[in-house]
Amino acid sequence: MSWKSRTYTGWGRVHSATSDTARPERASHLSRLMAEAPAPALGNLRSYGDACLNDGGKAIDMLRMDRILGFDPETGVLNVEGGCTLGTLARIFAPQGWLPAVMPGTGFATVGGAIANDVHGKNHHHMGSFGQHVLEITLETPKGKEVLTPGTAGFNATIGGLGQTGVIQSAKLQMLACKGDVMMVTERRAENLDAFLALINGSTASYSVGWIDATAQGEALGRGILEEGETGAGLVPAAKRGKRVPFNAPGFALSPPIVRMFNNAYFRRVPAAGRTTVKPIDDFFFPLDKIYDWNKLYGKKGFHQFQCVLPLDQTEVLREMLKKIARSALASPLAVLKRMGPEGDGMISFPMEGYTLAVDFRNKGRAEDLIAHLGDMTAQAGGRVYLAKDALASEAQIRSMYPNLNDWAAEVAKHDPEGRLNTDMTRRLNLRGPK
């Protein structure tokens, strides 16, 4: 199989890599590649930082391995190749009464990427993360094919393990029964952080997510909109076709006055009494997917996303973070606050019980300094930053946040003893090396 040089970036477009890339189409092709020249996998490149980059090395593009291998409509067990996207699964199976049990904010994430980053969604507070619904993983490692099942060390090192145990050829997933491909969505305004947390903590909805105004200060600090959703059946207008961003946006497009004006209008679009609407499933789960290449809105220098999770008793740290972000005047309109439930078994998975905050920042020096400070605050509060979104954390921060890192590295070494699956992120953070 031929290798072709390719230059690519993470979704944040700050860092890039050039790799010799192969694109297997069948399991036999993948097995041969991993036997001859082991390399880390690429999906749809939705990791924001350098988790998916392997500059100067090789990479295996999995997007052609996207077949559905089997589905049991009685049990909801799906067997699917690692390159299939979650949006594809939602579109195929929601009309049949099934959804992927956990879906992140983009339908372009692949099954392999969802496992490697143990993604979470709008229902983590009661359904956990993606890895908690994986029944079996077929893995191609530098040492050969392995079949992993829950409860084993190899499985727990693979869930959220950044692809370091091997390339995910396929997986068996437990799908979640749903009522149809329609969402009943209720939106409620919260005037400040205390009101916002009260809404989140009191929510009994199957799905919930909060947009937060990261520019608000004073009495309005932490104001936002909580969206709660339930699946349903019925007629609803089809989701509109996506539009492309044809060029990098100019710097003034996300200047502080424009962001504040947008956030104020967005907050007030929901009546004070709230409202309930009916939406296509894609519009609720993957709202930004309607704008292809929306990362270009941050300009040619790209952007960083900071995402952390803080324990439930650290709300004052969350409040201080929001104050620092608002005072910086660096935040974009994209800021999200959610409640998360108990963590799963992934050795270095991000999700843990607490509040998760995600904020986008244009790529500026001041933003990097702010994110470094927010990372320190997270570590001191006993929280974590999300490696799938990171490009700036230090080794010391990550080691304090992920206490099982050494156990994970030891298990990874059993699957990839020569370090052939290392990436720019694992090298930057020394994830697989000695302390």
Tell whether the model's pLDDT for residue 315 goes beyond 90.
Answer: yes
Burial 11-39 (b: 16+ CB within 10 A, else e): bbbbbebebbbbbbeebebbbebbeebbb
As a whole-number percent, the residues of the chain with pLDDT over 90 amount to: 90
Lowest mean pLDDT among 83-87, 289-293, 374-378, 407-411: 289-293
pLDDT at residue number 236:
63
**What's the fold here for domain 182-394?**
Vanillyl-alcohol Oxidase; Chain A, domain 3 (3.40.462)
Query: Cβ(3)–Cβ(54) under 8 Å?
Result: no
160, 132 contact by CB (below 8 A) = no
User: Which two three-digit tokens encode residue 31?
Assistant: 């097995």
79: CB partners within 8 A, 6+ apart:
68, 69, 70, 71, 170, 171, 172, 173
pTM of whole model > 0.75?
A: yes
Whether the CB-CB separation of 337 and 224 falls below 8 Å is answered with yes
**Pick from 141, 143, 139, 159: which is nearest to 151 by CA?**
159
Per-residue model confidence (pLDDT) at position 365: 81
With residue 332 as reference, give the H or E element that holds it.
Answer: strand 331-340
pLDDT at 268 over 70: yes
Q: Note the pLDDT tens digit of each residue in 173-217.
A: 999 999 988 999 999 999 999 999 999 999 999 999 999 999 999
| Region 122-139 average pLDDT | 97
Encoded tokens for 3: 């290798």
Domain boundary assignment for the chain: 182-394
